[in-house]
Amino acid sequence: MHPAFICRHKVGFAHCDPAGIVFYPRYFEMVNATVEEWFETGLGCGFAQLHGPMQAAVPTVSLKVDFKRPSRLGDVLMFALFVGRVGRSSLDLQIEMTGENDPAGQSRLTATLTLVFTQKGITGATPWPENLRAKLESKITRQDHHDT
């Protein structure tokens, strides 16, 4: 299946440990940056709009990462985002990261995330606004494994 979105990140000095290998918490930042960029350019609803006029957010409530191969300073990484299930207030995503010149099928990292829609002043998750739900559903690329 084709990803809903692809984001490119170049590994910089700030991402690396003294050996020049990406320090694993930096991958979480890159995964989040990929999601944030997808909301902005892929859905037309950036985090500035969510947190500002919409008074909403999409926090990550579940995150599982499999680290498969290291990345080094100067590597260009491709983050392919796949959309699973859109729930009443949740969204399941998978991100597969490869190096720009890696052979096909040789991912370096796979992340599985669940986000929820929340609104300021309301405790807990709230339903997706219909216009945003329609955009999310139009991007589904994979069937996910659970119902929340």
Task: Name every residue whose Cβ is closer than 8 Å to that of residue 68 and which is 6 or more positions away in sequence.
Answer: 107, 108, 109, 110
pTM equals 0.91
Domain that holds residue 120: 5-138
Residues 89-147: pLDDT tens digits?
999 999 999 999 999 889 999 999 999 999 999 999 999 999 999 999 999 986 544 43
Residues 8-20: pLDDT tens digits?
999 999 999 999 9
| Distance, CA of 102 to CA of 68 (rounded, Å) | 13
For the chain, how many structural domains are there in total? 1
Q: Measuring CA to CA, how many Å separate 51 from each of 14, 58, 118?
A: 27, 9, 10
Domain CATH code at residue 116: 3.10.129.10
Is 145 domain-assigned? Answer: no
Q: Which amino acid is at 129?
A: P
Residue pair 70/43 in contact by the 8 Å Cβ criterion? no
